[in-house]
Amino acid sequence: MASLNSSSIIIHEHCHVSPPPTSTHSSIPLTLLDLFWLRFHPVERIFYYSFPSPNTDSSFFFHKLVPRLKTSLSITLQHFLPLAGNIVWPSNSETPIVQYNPGDDGVSLVIAESELDLKHLLENSPNDAALSRSFLPHLESSESLASVIALQVTLFSNSGFSIGISSHHAVLDGKSSTMFIKAWASLCQEDQERTCLVPELVPFFCREIIKDQPNLDIILETSSKIFTDDNNNDRTLKILPFPPKLEDSVRATFNLTRADLEKIKKRVSSKWDMVVIDEEESNDNSTLYPKPNTLSTFILTCSYVSVCTAKAIQGVESNRKKFAFAFLVDCRNRLLEPPIPTNYFGNCVWGHLVDTKPNDYTEEDGVVIVAKNIHNKIKMISDKGVLEGAKNLSSTFKSLLSEGVEVMGIAGSTRFGVYEIDFGWGKPNKVEMTSVDRSLTFGIADSKDEKGGVEVGLVLSRDVMKLFDTLFHAGLCID
């Protein structure tokens, strides 16, 4: 038994869980959509659960819960063999592959115990940003090999547990990661060993459907310009350093109810025609689309939260005045030819920068301006294709950084249904996108309390978070 942090957490076990012995060798190539993320930091998420009974003791955790999680994980991995393997780069291959070797490979699983109060961690109010990091496993990567996922299950004395996952972005995007967790949970819910998955959770691994997509050659060029280091080692698998920003930082969760979203929508719609955006703001096209009949939850959430974030940062750090916003688009069912199925497992996302001016986010009508620009970008994607403008992405991105522009991003989705993931002991009390602390990113998820609501998680410095809280709630009080 080794102590990771003697004041808060103890490691009881570090093991590797492998698929059943009958599993065979598996090898799949990385597509160009995967290779874009080859050096990117792990995507980290934590699911927090309370025990079904307040009288549950630690023996239940160690003698029933953990063995059931291990058994069901092994069974699940037989459907997701690449996750039990590693990213390697054979000498005779131009690109890396994901390879599983029976008898050698498996998923790293840490069983830990924390002295921290689970109720404190479940609060939405700001907590020290570093607290959550104790409940996440380390994802190994080196010059020649990188793990695909790592897991950690942490006990909170007599109150509940958490499941933390660190996943390599070059193998799976958010939808794929959620599919795996849902599959694991579904096979864990019953004491008897069930081995079959429902059709929507059966992963589709065929890479040919991605290779056949047109114009993907520009992605590899783009990735080589964005996620690179100064060593010019083109064949390394070592993840680039994206250290968490933890010093004097806090993590908090905010909720936008359906009523809040409706209020923002009415405000944006009422000023839509009054607020003019310059066609020269657009880098990829000059089309300004007409006012829509309605606005999506995504547009409303992104415009409101990004503007609150920018104004909070500027209010505390007056020298930071330039901002931009980027988001990922799921390419599944995006009118690509051939169409990509919804259960495609891998990376099927591409990024877009919103065509705003750097000071738009701190303008009085910033929410309206940003909402219009996000709407225009989404319409452009629908009309011209998800890869429209990709060839200019790296140059635009680097130009913004050179000009001192803070690029805000978004992680997660309200469509993942993370609060429905039940391993057999109830739905999660909280789901946290922990890796948002590695950049100026906010995570979004469906609300656990209300259908149609949105949960937003972010990490900011203490003073900025305090002002963000004020701006966020004050803006929702305006009729």
The 3-state DSSP class for residue 304 equals helix
The residues near 223 (Cβ < 8 Å, ≥ 6 apart) are: 32, 35, 36, 37, 38
Question: Is the Cβ–Cβ distance between 286 and 373 less than 8 Å?
Answer: no
Question: Is the Cβ–Cβ distance between 285 and 378 less than 8 Å?
Answer: no
The residues near 140 (Cβ < 8 Å, ≥ 6 apart) are: 108, 146, 147, 150
Provide the CA 57 distance to its chain's centre, in angstroms: 33
Q: Is 360 a catalytic residue?
A: no
Closest by CA position to 306, among listed 438, 444, 398, 415: 444
Provide the CA 297 distance to its chain's centre, in angstroms: 18
Question: Is the Cβ–Cβ distance between 12 and 113 less than 8 Å?
Answer: yes
Distance CA 302, CA 308 (A): 10
Q: Which of 41, 79, 168, 169 is catalytic?
A: 169
Distance CA 158, CA 345 (A): 37
Query: How far apart, in Å, are the Cα atoms of 392 and each of 115, 288, 352, 356?
Result: 49, 20, 10, 15
For 255, counting Cβ atoms within 10 Å of its Cβ (0-12 exposed, 13-18 middle, 19+ buried), the class is middle
Indicate left, alpha or beta for 198 from its phi (over 0: left) and psi (-120 to 50: alpha): beta
Q: Which of 365, 422, 463, 469 is catalytic?
A: 422
Distance CA 64, CA 67 (A): 6
Please give the torsion angle defined by the CA atoms of residues 215, 219, 221 and 227, in that order, rounded to the nearest 10 degrees: 180
Question: Is the Cβ–Cβ distance between 383 and 375 less than 8 Å?
Answer: no
Distance CA 225, CA 223 (A): 5
Q: Is 169 a catalytic residue?
A: yes
Distance CA 361, CA 371 (A): 10
| Torsional sign, CA 188, 190, 195, 201 | negative
Catalytic residues: 169, 422
